[in-house]
Amino acid sequence: MDKNELLNPIRILNWSLKTKVVMAPMTRSFANNHTGTVGEDIVNYYRRRAKDCIGLIITEGIIPSLRGKGTFGVPGLYTNAQIDSWRRVTEAVHAEGGKIVAQLWHVGRLTHHELTGGIPPQAPSILKADGLVHRLRKPYEVPEEMSLDDIKKVIQEYALAARNAVKAGFDGVEIHGAHGYLIDQFNSEVTNKRTDEFGGDIFNRLLFMKEVLKAVISEVGKDKTIIRFSEIKDDIPSYRWANPEENIKAFIQVFSEVGIQILHPSTNNFTGKIANGMTFHELVRKYWDGIIIGVGNLNVETASEAIKKGTIDLAAFGRPLLANPDFVHKIKEGIPIKPYEAATDLKYLN
């Protein structure tokens, strides 16, 4: 196994990355629950990964508005105090020679008024999700259907959060358009029953994502904007696309139209076949010649081989980086990677 593929530096558009290892976005819930600011524990958490030579850090989900909040302790990027608190993080990462992008995350219907300041959840259609709100452990509430004015307002909130990310010193922004959250609720025929221009056929359903991308790109640039998208949905584990290849072609057509250059296709199983004997990332690569970040319970060997084959350009790791803040060092030295243990690795920042 040639482990050097992950360890080699790479130039990605305007970013010079020390390695091809990406820190995947992971909800941590250590922000101040009332103010949405992050503290010194978060500063040190990201600093350690940058010092370890993670090529690109993607933050935990950061909400563009209080209404986008889906659990306790989620940070924001819509107040000056939040901007200032994140600036300490980006300065620490940059001091170690790292790069960091802010993931913007709006949960849509997957929340409860107790988390959103007493305001009901919002979604493309009045369809209640099954299940319980993360950590709150209360059933998801029936959302309000977003009006055209609501849609316009949320797009503006994404744009403002992207502008604030630049003020906070982030190197770019990732839009969370996956896993059944707000953008993906618009994308899917299961959660989007609208009859206006934001509903109907797949390109109408993808219009909200497209407009969010255009708004964010106008603030940070198309070379510093990443989109995360998926087939899978956190609240509907059994959901699958009826025609994965056609869906992927439609998504990529939209991405090409807005000029975005970095994709983050998300799956729980990187090696799992979804259509025509091909994996999710292989199908994306079939129609996309830009940058692809691979993710999905990757190990070092699988990631290295996928980069060598050209299926992906960068490899994102989640849980291994929670358990191993010295992940890259261990790869370099051939030290075994410590297994992830939720009882400690999820409960504490290290």
Running DSSP on this structure, what letter comes out for residue 344?
I
Show the tokens assigned to 62.
């950061």
Q: Which of 45, 46, 158, 181 is catalytic?
A: 181
- Closest by CA to 191, choosing from 131, 248, 129, 240, is 129
Please give the torsion angle defined by the CA atoms of residues 237, 242, 244 and 250, in that order, rounded to the nearest 10 degrees.
Answer: -110
Report the distance separating Cα 24 and Cα 3, nearest Å.
19
User: Which residues does residue 139 pair with via DSSP β-bridges, in sequence order?
Assistant: 132
Dist. CA 341–CA 323, nearest whole Å: 7
Sign of CA dihedral 64, 284, 6, 271: positive
8 A C-beta contact, residue 64 and residue 106: yes
Residue 244 pairs in a beta bridge with none
Query: What is the per-residue pLDDT for 289?
Result: 97
Q: How many whole angstroms separate alpha carbon 60 and alpha carbon 62?
A: 6
Q: Is 166 exposed, middle or buried (0-12, 13-18, 19+ CB in 10 A)?
A: middle
Q: Going residue by residue through the chain, which has 350 residues, state the pLDDT in tens, using 9 for 90 and above.
A: 445 899 999 999 999 999 999 999 999 999 999 999 999 999 999 999 999 999 999 999 999 999 999 999 999 999 999 999 999 999 999 999 999 999 999 999 999 999 999 999 999 999 999 999 999 999 999 999 999 999 999 999 999 999 999 999 999 999 999 999 999 999 999 999 999 999 999 999 999 999 999 999 999 999 999 999 999 999 999 999 999 999 999 999 999 999 999 999 999 999 999 999 999 999 999 999 999 999 999 999 999 999 999 999 999 999 999 999 999 999 999 999 999 999 999 989 99
Give kind and range of the element (H or E) at residue 149.
helix 148-167
Structure tokens given for 50: 């940058």
pTM of this prediction exceeds 0.95: yes
Task: In whole angstroms, give the CA distance from residue 236 to residue 270.
Answer: 19
- 3-class SS of residue 121: coil
Q: Which helix (H) or strand (E) holds 89?
A: helix 80-95
181 in active site: yes
The C-alpha atoms of residue 54 and residue 321 are separated, in whole angstroms, by 10
